[in-house]
């Protein structure tokens, strides 16, 4: 079993006819994802990659029964695309686009409030359930169907941890990229809830970093809910200089807050198993399951 997606999930791509849209749609099809169409205003009624193209998300959803949308449009139009998908009541929205303006994301969060949609991203590597479905740009080279749920703020570290859990014969139930931006959709707490209630997930890995409050929120959830499944956490950025932006809006420690040390201590005090370094995450999970 997986969370959010499975082999039957019907997916459309907003921006499918562009260069990146074409590449990643084809990659998803080759993986086995059930892509049912795409959206590109002005090209409705045409086909691309032998799939129907629609002018709007609402038209695409009504015609195909789509349950998820992959957004691959430029940053200036990404918020508009997300809001359109929300208004079409798309159950799952995955926005890979980077550098979406923060004020645009405030509008998106307002649109999400009270809606039936769930948003991954923006600036997410996406989501995949091994052998079932891939939505986004996440690497699946070292994947293996298994029983470890992974939620991550970092794309490159996700690939590393997937490889480690495969090496230790643990495999993955679902890998979720929550995105690295400060204002985003689904967070660590949402992922903890999903994995905690999934009968086929035995352990949970959180890959965090400096900036934001995702790790602190996860720690509060762990303290209050005390899930029975082991949670392994890695927080990177221990040596990052304070008050300096590191790559994207989410990785910023200001006035000594949201730094790696405080996040690690919050998670440790909440009962999470802390991986001391990135290369030890798989081993830490193996030990946590054994104990």
**Is there a catalytic annotation at residue 248?**
yes
Which pairing describes strands 47-48 and 51-54: parallel, antiparallel, or unpaired?
A: antiparallel
Of the candidates 92, 16, 7, the residue with the CA atom closest to the CA atom of residue 49: 16
**3-state secondary structure (DSSP) of residue 216:** helix
Residue 15: Cβ within 10 Å count:
24
Residue by residue, DSSP assigns 5-71 as --TT-EEEEETTTSHHHHHHHHHHHHHT-EEEEEE-TT-TT-EETTEEEESSHHHHHHHH---EEEE
The count of C-alpha atoms lying within 13 angstroms of the C-alpha of 31, restricted to the half-sphere facing its C-beta, is 28
Encode burial over 204-222: b for 16+ CB neighbours within 10 A, e otherwise: bbbbbbbbbbbbbbbbebb
Q: Which of the residues 184, 248, 273, 279 is marked catalytic?
A: 248
Q: Which stretches of the chain are DSSP H helices?
A: 19-31, 57-64, 75-87, 102-112, 155-167, 188-196, 214-225, 260-269, 281-290
**3-state secondary structure (DSSP) of residue 203:** strand
Catalytic residues: 248
């Amino acid at each position: 079993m997986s969370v959010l997606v499975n082999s039957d999930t019907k997916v459309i791509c907003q921006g499918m006819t562009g260069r990146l849209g074409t590449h990643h749609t084809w990659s998803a099809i080759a993986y086995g994802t059930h892509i049912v169409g795409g959206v590109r205003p002005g090209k409705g009624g045409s086909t691309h990659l032998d799939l129907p193209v629609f002018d709007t998300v609402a038209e695409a959803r009504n015609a195909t029964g789509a349950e998820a949308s992959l957004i691959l449009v430029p940053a200036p139009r990404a918020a508009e695309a997300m809001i359109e998908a929300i208004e079409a009541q798309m159950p799952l929205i995955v926005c890979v686009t980077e550098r979406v303006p923060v004020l645009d994301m405030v509008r998106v969060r307002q649109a999400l409030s009270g809606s039936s949609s769930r948003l991954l991203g923006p600036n997410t590597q996406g989501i995949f359930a091994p052998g079932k479905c891939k939505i986004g740009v996440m690497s699946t080279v070292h994947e293996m169907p298994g029983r470890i749920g992974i939620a991550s703020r970092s794309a490159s570290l996700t690939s590393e941890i997937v490889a480690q859990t495969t090496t230790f014969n643990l495999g993955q139930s679902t890998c979720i990229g929550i995105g690295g931006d400060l204002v985003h959709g689904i967070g660590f707490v949402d992922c903890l809830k999903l994995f905690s209630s999934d009968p086929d997930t035995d352990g949970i890995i959180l890959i965090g970093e400096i900036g934001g409050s995702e790790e602190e929120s996860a720690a509060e959830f762990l303290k209050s809910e005390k899930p029975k499944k082991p949670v392994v956490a890695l927080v990177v950025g221990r040596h990052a200089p304070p008050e300096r932006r590191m790559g994207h809006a989410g990785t910023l420690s200001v006035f000594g807050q949201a730094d790696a040390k405080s996040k690690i201590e919050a998670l440790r005090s909440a009962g999470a198993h802390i991986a001391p370094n990135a290369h030890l995450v798989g081993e830490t999970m193996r030990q946590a399951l054994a104990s």
